[in-house]
Structure 1
Amino acid sequence: MKSNLRTPGRPKRKEQEPSVQETVLFKASMLFMELGYEAVSLQQIAKACGVTKASIYYYYKGKPELFTAALTAVMRRASERTAALLEEDMPLRERLILVSETKLGRQHADFETIMREARSSLSEEQLDDIRRAEEGIHEIIAGHLARSIEQGEIRQTDPLLTAYALSAVLMVGNREIAKGKTAEKLAREIVDLFWHGLEK
């Protein structure tokens, strides 16, 4: 007969609901991206999830482990979203505008500032995990740039360097959004800035 006993200490959940771990990861990623590393506590995350701090410790040893898991999850979602947008049936320029507008439309703290706050608390392995997840987004963009170079749509350039450069400008663009500029308008301005340097 199958036992209905839970693993000791494992938080309860109802069927069809996200698991406690999924909820913790989602809420933590939102809080870290909005407020940064230092401003967010495990108690704050537990309260946002409606669970105890002990429930978080069941899945994560501490804040650095949860932060790493949350940030890599954010990057994975961003990679999937970027890949889907870049597969749209439209010219590369319009696809890059879509990607840029989506990124700019999501209000969050500056990623570099978040990482600077967290760096001293993270191990080299954790930092590498986050860097690899972030690189995944750049590699997706670079792949589409490389394809457009092969098809003669844009001039010969280093696709990965261009992808990193676009991401860097979009990061700065977040500050302009905070000043009241719309994501749609700014996305077109940024991509146009790049496009005039790419077109043949």
Structure 2
Amino acid sequence: MTHPLNSNTPRLPGRPKRSEEALPMDQMILRISSNLFMENGYEAISLQQIAKACGVTKASIYYHFENKAQLFTASVTSMTGMARMHTKRIMGQEGPLLDRLRELAEVKLARPHGDFETIMREARASLSPEQIQAIMASEEAITDVLTESFQQSMDRGEIRSGDPLFLAHTFSSLLMVGNREISADYNLSPSHLAHKIMDLFWHGVAPT
């Protein structure tokens, strides 16, 4: 099994979609670069490749971002900010916790992604302590939303009492397992994979 970060030829998108062309240039660059970084890793993607994928010059990238590390940090924090917004929307809906978690899993697994921890290990040497802290804080903001939802469900008696932060980290870790290679190995759609992961998270491995 070949990990996307080890590919010699990163997959690049073609021309920006019409919806992306309508965005301000810096937002278009962030959206496209976040997809490239998440699918291919930090080292595999150059600013020249990002510029080509965006349909702009490399000078245009430098006009908005000082260097690759700054662009990576902005891309990741922008992506996690959107993820927090979607997480908050889904978890704030009415209905059973299981249904909301399953919907959240389907949304996340529908988007191709590599192993974020591997990507961060690769990028860490190029990032400043402040940039690393900004990325960590943006991730923690998503965890906070999940933690609050688990605590509320515990207070309602919907799930047994425990450590809501531990549950949030466990749930997030299980979703990280569901990357595109595993989906392909088992020939599962994002929806089917989300159901399998949620069944394991919700029921565990003990016999019923």
Q: What residue number does 2:35 align with?
A: 30
Kept in 2, the 8 Å contact 1:85–1:95? The answer is: yes
Inter-partner Cα distance in structure 2 for 1:126 and 1:106: 24
Kept in 2, the 8 Å contact 1:104–1:177? The answer is: no
Task: Tell whether 2:156 aligns with 1:156.
Answer: no
Moved over 4 A (4+): none
Kept in 2, the 8 Å contact 1:34–1:109? The answer is: yes
CA positional deviation for 1:68 = 0.1
Identical-pair percentage: 49
What aligned pairs does 1:65-84 form with structure 2 within 5 A after superposition? 65-84=70-89
Task: Tell whether 2:191 aligns with 1:187.
Answer: no
Q: What residue number does 1:177 align with?
A: 183
Residue 197 of structure 2 aligns to which amino acid in structure 1? I
Per the normalisation by structure 2, the TM-score is 0.83
Stretches of structure 1 that go unaligned for 5 or more consecutive residues are: 1-15
Inter-partner Cα distance in structure 2 for 1:79 and 1:23: 19
What aligned pairs does 1:30-109 form with structure 2 within 5 A after superposition? 30-109=35-114
CA positional deviation for 1:90 = 1.6
Task: Tell whether 2:167 aligns with 1:166.
Answer: no
Per the normalisation by structure 1, the TM-score is 0.87
CA positional deviation for 1:88 = 2.3
Stretches of structure 2 that go unaligned for 5 or more consecutive residues are: 1-20
Q: What residue number does 2:145 align with?
A: 140
Inter-partner Cα distance in structure 1 for 2:89 and 2:184: 27
CA positional deviation for 1:149 = 0.5
Q: What residue number does 2:126 align with?
A: 121
Inter-partner Cα distance in structure 1 for 2:124 and 2:61: 21
Q: What residue number does 1:110 align with?
A: 115
Q: What residue number does 2:24 align with?
A: 19
CA positional deviation for 1:178 = 3.1
